[in-house]
Amino acid sequence: MPPRKRIFREDILKAAVQLVQEEGTAALSVRNIARTLNCSTQPIYSEFENMETLREELMAYIREHCLREDAGSYKQVALSFLHFAQREKNLFQLVYLRHRNEGETLFEDPNEMQTIHKLEVNLELPRQKAAEMHRRMQYYSYSMAVMMATGYLNFSEEEISTELTEYYRIILSYYKQIKTEEELQHWLERSRNLLV
């Protein structure tokens, strides 16, 4: 009777996450994951063809388990991303601060399609405009997140909230062609409660 399998694919991915959290992206190797699991490298190589395959699946695992968010407001989408950068600096650097191949997506946002759909419906925008607006908000949030994850700037909760609100007011006014404060308040309220 063959020995029962002791280390599963998810165990390896969890160990890899833990390793990066504790020791940084440079520590990510099969040998170090095996050390974290207190096993040989054999169970890892039996699950993953090579380190590149493991790394690709690890990125997907982090996006799914650490970044997926069903936010009730548009601001919450950005706040979740920024809190991840602030709280999980090493994981953020692994996923977002790396060289990308041509054609590879920049943000790898697991919430993107759902968020764009909510903007489209709640702000009564054509899909293309909602996607463009969201992309610009991503650019802004991404730059803040990089500064936070690399220690360049440390934003307080109040500063994060103010920055997001001010920038959002600007792009919302542009995409909705808002002319009055009353109109702006109406669409801000619609953004606070993204329902779909």
Q: Mean pLDDT across the stretch 58-83?
A: 85
User: What is residue 3's predicted lDDT score, i.e. its pLDDT?
Assistant: 59
Residue 54: which pLDDT band, with cuts at 50, 70 and 90?
very high
- Closest of 78, 57, 31 to residue 194, by C-alpha: 78
Name the more confident of 100 and 36: 36
**Helix/strand/coil for 135:** helix
User: What is residue 14's predicted lDDT score, i.e. its pLDDT?
Assistant: 96
Q: Mean pLDDT across the stretch 111-126?
A: 91
Distance CA 122, CA 74 (A): 10
User: What is residue 195's predicted lDDT score, i.e. its pLDDT?
Assistant: 66
Structure tokens at 83: 């809190």
Name the more confident of 103 and 137: 137
Distance CA 51, CA 31 (A): 10
Report the percentage of the chain scoring pLDDT > 90: 68
User: What is residue 169's predicted lDDT score, i.e. its pLDDT?
Assistant: 95
User: What is residue 106's predicted lDDT score, i.e. its pLDDT?
Assistant: 59
Output the CA torsion sign for 183, 184, 187, 188: negative
User: What is residue 75's predicted lDDT score, i.e. its pLDDT?
Assistant: 87
* Helices marked H in the chain: 9-23, 30-37, 42-47, 51-62, 74-87, 89-96, 112-122, 127-149, 157-176, 181-192
Residue 185: which pLDDT band, with cuts at 50, 70 and 90?
very high
DSSP string computed for 93-107? HHHHSS---TT--SS
Whose structure tokens read 């440390």?
Answer: 154
Centre a 10 Å sphere on the Cβ of residue 82 and count the other Cβ atoms it contains: 23
Q: Mean pLDDT across the stretch 141-145?
A: 94
Name the more confident of 77 and 9: 9
Say if residue 101's pLDDT is above 80: no
Centre a 10 Å sphere on the Cβ of residue 195 and count the other Cβ atoms it contains: 8
Worst-scoring range by mean pLDDT, 36-45, 61-70, 171-180? 61-70
User: What is residue 102's predicted lDDT score, i.e. its pLDDT?
Assistant: 75
User: What is residue 162's predicted lDDT score, i.e. its pLDDT?
Assistant: 95
Say if residue 131's pLDDT is above 90: yes
| Average pLDDT value over all residues in the chain | 89
List all residues 6 or more positions away from 91 whose beta carbon is below 8 Å from its beta carbon.
17, 20, 21, 62, 66, 84
User: What is residue 72's predicted lDDT score, i.e. its pLDDT?
Assistant: 72
